[in-house]
Amino acid sequence: MQNKTLVPSTIRNTVVGALSVLFISTGCINTDDVDPFVDGSTQKGLNVTVTEPIDRDYSDIKQDGTIKMITRYSSNTYFLHQGIEWGFEYELVRKFAQEHDLALEVVVVGPNENPYDLLNSGMGDLIAANYTATPERKKYIKFTRPYNLVDQVLVFSDGVEDPPETIEKVAERDIPITVRRNSSYYYRLQSLRDQGINLVTRQVPNTKDTESLLFEISNNTHSATVADDNIFNASNRYMQGLVKGPTIAKNDTIAWAIRKNANDLETELNRFLYKHFRFGNEGEDPKRSTFLNILRKRYFESGQQIAEYYNPEMSSRGSGVISPYDDLIKEVADSAGVDWLLVSSIAAQETKFNPKSKSWAGAVGLMQVMPRFSEVSNEEDLYDVETNIREGVRIIKEHLNHYSYMDSTNKWSFALATYNAGPGHVADARRLAIDQNKNPNEWENVEAALLKLMQRKYYKDARYGFTRGIETVRYVKEIKNRYNTYESILTMSESDEEGTVPGVMGLFN
């Protein structure tokens, strides 16, 4: 099963977050009882509007063949590097999806969207975002068994002289601690105040996430904030000017959030997590699987590689927003009248932008062009990036022309399926759809037929025989949804240049 990252085809151009640390909002809100939003209004609590979860459990997810992960865009949850998906949460959920033969949709929370509402309305199936299990959150969702334990630590700007070593001394010096009203940090600070520690707290709009606040701390915009120790460790690898302060909470449990009525999904997720994280005996560290330890080392403990991929201080424009080949792909695709982001999505799916790639079937180069279908006579020439892109675009353009009588959604679905499986297998699936009195010009009917062509009773009469239809179906879905992710990131990047990008909905730690 291939690696899978999908974004719903109805995504709303909402991929923001990690890069939002570039978009520093101004000002703090000095109130302890309200929940400020970008528009200046105030609401109490988590601002949940969908309180009754839809009826969607594991059996429905299996039937769809897709599990939907709600997350935020950050260096430890989910992010893109040269068009390829990374992130601790992403890789962990993807592992579950692979073991259960499911595709993975990534739903990134956008401005003025609420992850609880997305979850309970069915836009996603689990929230995976370094989520702390808090009583406030449990009013609307439930949590799986944990997969991590973290400590909450104060983080000071290096502009704070002689940083206090205890929370009591922080209170004595009236050092303001900037957090979001919806965060678990806010509730911990409130608990400390209830214990008589007179802390000064400041709240920022919910367009902030922890990484954004840490970035502002590093620039001396604020004096102090709170972060989970793993997020601090990851951020400290590429941000300058952060000073770790005292621990204010130990062993918070990090878990995935799911709908309260998703009992079977909870069972499956808990079985999976039990294999990777178990509590040890009293006084012992938790027991983690090799896979989980690899992820922890990659994203929270090791060298600079992942942090540098994500680093918001590093401009990606020199090599392109999506990949190092943005300008070239734009030029070739535009000249052919083909959407360049879809071409980029194909290249990411085929080779992860590796121009030297060669498949077991003999497809070569960035776009995995089959030499026997190419107009380029010398196979070695297909390893040239520009030549390969031109050939790939020419081939996908031919497929688009073949289905030009269809609406745009169906046309692209059929063209992508043909690029992946070849025209023969797609034609077989369309004939099978006709045999079953279905419209062969509707992708959902042909999609179902492709899956049937994996069964002998159907493929034995097909002109081109057996095909791994599930791979083609997922190929189409992944590329279309990756396109939506790329489109959102491109929109965000263009807005950044204009200085108009809002931050991410700050409901995560």
DSSP string, 403-464: TTTS-HHHHHHHHHHHHHH-HHHHHHHHHHHHHTT--TTSHHHHHHHHHHTTSHHHHTTSTT
User: Which position has the token pair 């994500």?
Assistant: 310
Residue 399 has pLDDT above 70, yes or no: yes
For 499: left if phi > 0, alpha if psi spans -120 to 50, otherwise beta; the answer is left
* Residue 473 to residue 312: CA distance in whole angstroms: 35
Residue 10 has pLDDT above 90, yes or no: no
Those residues whose C-beta lies under 8 Å from the C-beta of residue 346, and which sit 6 or more positions away, are 367, 392, 396, 416, 419, 479
Q: Are strands 224-228 and 84-86 parallel, antiparallel or unpaired?
A: unpaired
Give the model's pLDDT for residue 272. Answer: 97
State the Rg of the chain over Cα: 25
Question: CA-based angle 412:418:487, to the nearest 5?
Answer: 35
Pick the range with the lowest mean pLDDT from 78-82, 270-274, 433-437: 78-82
Q: What is the mean pLDDT of residues 254-275?
A: 97
Pick the range with the lowest mean pLDDT from 104-118, 202-216, 471-485: 202-216
User: What tokens does 119 get?
Assistant: 């979850």
Active site residue 161: no
pLDDT digits (tens, 9 = 90+) for 157-195: 999 999 999 999 999 999 999 998 778 888 889 889 999
Q: pLDDT band at residue 81, thresholds of 50, 70 and 90? A: low
Give the model's pLDDT for residue 374. Answer: 86
Question: CA-based angle 115:119:121, to the nearest 5?
Answer: 115
Residue 6 has pLDDT above 90, yes or no: no
Question: CA-based angle 244:246:250, to the nearest 5?
Answer: 110
Q: What is the mean pLDDT of residues 20-27?
A: 30
Which one of 91, 211, 350, 478 is the catalytic residue? 350
Instruction: Report all structural domains of the chain as residue ranges with CATH numbers, in order of start.
Output: 18-146+254-313+491-498 (3.40.190.10), 150-252 (3.40.190.10), 326-482 (1.10.530.10)
Those residues whose C-beta lies under 8 Å from the C-beta of residue 185, and which sit 6 or more positions away, are 152, 179, 225, 226, 227, 509
Residue 292 has pLDDT above 50, yes or no: yes
What percent of the chain shows pLDDT beyond 70? 82
What percent of the chain shows pLDDT beyond 90? 47
Residue 309 has pLDDT above 60, yes or no: no
pLDDT digits (tens, 9 = 90+) for 403-458: 999 999 999 999 999 999 999 999 999 999 999 999 999 999 999 999 999 888 89
User: Which position has the token pair 């492709």?
Assistant: 450
- More confident: 374 or 289: 289
- More confident: 8 or 257: 257
Q: pLDDT band at residue 495, thresholds of 50, 70 and 90? A: low
**Mean pLDDT, the chain, whole residue set:** 81
For the chain, the residue count is 509
- More confident: 22 or 478: 478
* Residue 188 to residue 198: CA distance in whole angstroms: 13
Give the model's pLDDT for residue 273. Answer: 97
Residue 43 has pLDDT above 50, yes or no: no
